Amino acid sequence: MKSLDELAKIKESRRAALKIREGVPSATEKAHVMMCGGAGCISSKCLEVVDAMKEALSKNGIAEQVQIILTGCMGPCDMGPVAIVYPDATFYRRLKPKDAEAIVEEHIMKGNLVQRLLYRAPGAKEPTPKVTDIDLFAKQKKIVLRNNFYIDPTSIEDYIANDGYAALGKALTQMQPAEIIEEVKKSGLRGRGGAGFSTGMKWGFTAAASGSPKYVVCNGDEGDPGAFMDRSVLEGDPHSVIEGMAICGRAIGAEQGYVYVRAEYPLAIERLDYAIQKARENGLLGKDILGTGFNFDIEIRIGAGAFVCGEETALLTSIEGKRGEPRPRPPFPANAGVWGKPTVLNNVETWANIPEIILKGAAAYAAIGTEKSKGTKVFALAGRINNTGIIEVPMGTTLREIVFEIGGGIPRKKAFKAVQTGGPSGGCIPADYLDTPVDYDSLGALGAIMGSGGMIVLDEDSCMVDIAKFFLDFVVDESCGKCSPCRIGTKRMYEILDNISKGKGKEGDIELLVELATTIKATALCGLGQTAPNPVLSTIRYFRKEYEEHIRDKKCACNVCELEE
């Protein structure tokens, strides 16, 4: 593709072909079935449903008139496999292969919705057939996951039809590099990888840094246990990341990008690889992009799945082919990143926001969210909650809204106890703070963090000592071992906690934990160690009584810990 015109033409022709997904019936096609191909639905065997549906279509002789498309994660994983059938945008859930025939023969051929497969809101009598009417989705705001209901992740045309690469076109033809950076700064976008640093500022530093060449890196390591936001983006909409990175390349003067993805995400790697190939074929990566003289290309680097490799300096070291170990900062990647060159490193989700900001403008983006946290955030809901899966909400949405409205509350009428955010670097927020708006600063003030978006809901049966132990166990395993506070300190903390949980705790153990935690936080080399004690500290802060019960009374009120004797 050598010009914006060509891009516009593709968009136009593809848009026409996709009208059906906007609810406009088509003369030639009966339906588009968007089958969720996210991790949750794959594990609940959506591919078998696809096969069954293909069979039913052929049997009825309408295979030519119906498209079945595997999308990225649609979010409501616990209801999987889920699907949306266009043009009427009907949402089906908990599909089994045997349901395929009904959908084909009743819904697609005769126009009768299959009632038993429709979504019913908790307590509601009537089902809600249309996806846009479903409360769960209605309360969300989709920017990052804007395309997951609509496009085929393997089709660059689908992406283009939904405004894909228009932002890149704009950045290349209508904006100066400095203006791009300014726009990103004004949007208020902060890094979604956990630390929440201003993305625009990061780009600004890198642009200003001396040294060349410069590099653009996407962090797709996603190591928080239970998190799969980034995976959903890479699998469902890989071009959004590519486009965001290319825009940054233009802004900072880089011609090479790297996407670092963990090896445990083979589908994400495959989709991204394919997308990169398609982008190259279409002249959207490579030399002289859109005929503007701008060059940019992307390589995938596959990580071996160590949690610490998500830490930016470790990731850069790993890209260089060395053992993925953090190095001291400063120098920050902006000045000394890959091969010691100035580098912008952002998280997958951060990248996916960029095209929207450039296309629709910083002001529109900054209108969403709170004063200091703009835009939306994707979360992975897990634990004792009805609707587990992926959600995207505006910054500032309260925990209560997330847990009880979008998440559908706690199963089996149990009492809510706390929500854990930020995974092994984060903390627990107890019920008293349910009305806290979810933004970087409010969560930080409570001793938790936004983190990358993991949210684990705990109910009255969850033992907090056990939760702390779970996360500490994780960091003991994942500590890279380079610095002694983290390497030995977390191990010793774990041993103390383990003793407490087994009823072998002693007076003074809590104080010892706090003392160790303080030193580790203050002296560890990288973010892993510096935050590793957080789950312990925050549970001690809000649930000290539970610790004391284990130590003094040798008892676990939730009957989770196996006390010896």
Ligand X SMILES: Cc1cc2nc3c(=O)[nH]c(=O)nc-3n(C[C@H](O)[C@H](O)[C@H](O)COP(=O)(O)O)c2cc1C
Binding site for ligand SF4 (CB under 6 A): 308, 326, 479-483, 486-487, 524-526, 528-529
Among 140, 187, 346, 539, binds ligand X (CB under 6 A): 346
- E runs forming strands in 198-253: 214-220
Query: Taking CB within 5 to 8 Å according to partner kind, which of ligand SF4, ligand X, other proteins, none is near residue 183?
Result: none
Buried b or exposed e, range 541-564, using 16+ CB within 10 angstroms: ebbeebbebbbeebebebeebeee
> 131 or 528: whose CB is closer to ligand SF4?
528
Q: Which is nearer to ligand X, 228 or 542 (CB)?
A: 228
Q: Name the one range near ligand X by CB under 6 A: 111-119, 160-168, 296-304, 309-317.
A: 309-317
Q: Between 381 and 536, whose beta carbon lies closer to ligand SF4?
A: 536
**Spatial separation of the C-alpha atoms in residues 152 and 18, rounded to whole Å:** 11
Collapsing DSSP to helix, strand or coil, 66 comes out as strand
Which residues does residue 391 pair with via DSSP β-bridges, in sequence order? 379
Print the SS3 string covering 139-207. Answer: CCCCCCCCCCCCCCCCCHHHHHHCCCCHHHHHHHHCCCHHHHHHHHHHHCCECCCCCCCEHHHHHHHHH
> Rounded CA gap, 93 and 109, in Å?
19
Of 162, 187, 350, 387, the one binding ligand X (CB under 6 A) is 350
Retrieve residue 179's tokens. Answer: 């203006």
Q: What are the Cα distances from residue 296, in Å, to 238, 283, 289, 290, 555? A: 16, 10, 8, 11, 60
Q: Which is nearer to other proteins, 115 or 519 (CB)?
A: 519
Q: Which residues are at the interface with other proteins (CB under 8 A)? A: 306, 308, 323, 325, 327-328, 330, 476-492, 495, 515-516, 519, 521-525, 530
Whole-number Å distance between alpha carbons of 156 and 305:
29
Which residues, 524 to 543, sit near ligand X by CB under 6 A?
Answer: 526-528
Q: How far is the CB of 218 from ligand X (least distance, A)?
A: 8
Rank residues 195 and 463 by Cβ distance to other proteins and give the closer one: 195
Which residue is nearest to ligand SF4, using beta carbons?
529
In the list 347, 397, 420, 462, the residue contacting ligand X (rule: CB under 6 A) is 347
Check: CB of residue 18 under 8 Å from CB of residue 300: no
- The verdict on 446 binding ligand X (CB under 6 A) reads no
Q: What is the CA radius of gyration of the chain?
A: 24
Q: Per DSSP, what are the bridge partners of residue 84? A: 34, 91
252 lies in the site for ligand X, by CB under 6 A: no
Alpha helices in 304-388 (DSSP H): 312-319, 348-360, 362-366
Site string for ligand X, 508-527 (x = CB under 6 A): ------------------xx
The nearer residue to ligand X, 164 or 196, going by C-beta atoms, is 196
Least distance between other proteins and beta carbon 473 (Å): 11
Q: What is the C-alpha to C-alpha distance for residues 386 and 410, in angstroms, rounded to an integer?
A: 6
H runs (alpha helix) in 266-330: 266-281, 312-319
* Given 311, 356, 439, 459, the residue binding ligand X (CB under 6 A): 311
The least distance separating ligand X from the CB of residue 303, rounded to whole angstroms, comes to 9
Smallest separation, CB 530 to other proteins (Å):
6
The smaller minimum CB distance to other proteins, of residues 143 and 486, is found at 486
Q: Are 427 and 517 in contact (CB under 8 A)?
A: no
Identify which range of 2-10, 105-113, 163-171, 302-310 contacts ligand X by CB under 6 A.
302-310
320 binds, among ligand X, ligand SF4, other proteins, none (CB under 5 to 8 A by kind): none
**In the complex, what is the shortest distance from the CB of residue 130 to ligand X, in angstroms, rounded to a whole number?**
35
Selected from 14, 107, 192, 278, the binder of ligand X by CB under 6 A is 192
Among ligand SF4, other proteins, ligand X, none, partner that 312 touches (CB below 5 to 8 angstroms by kind): ligand X
Three-class SS state of 229: helix
Q: Minimum distance between the CB of residue 37 and ligand X, rounded to whole angstroms? A: 22
Which amino acid does the sequence have at 517? A
Binding footprint of ligand X on the chain (CB under 6 A): 191-195, 197, 199, 219, 221-223, 307-308, 310-312, 345-347, 350, 452, 526-528
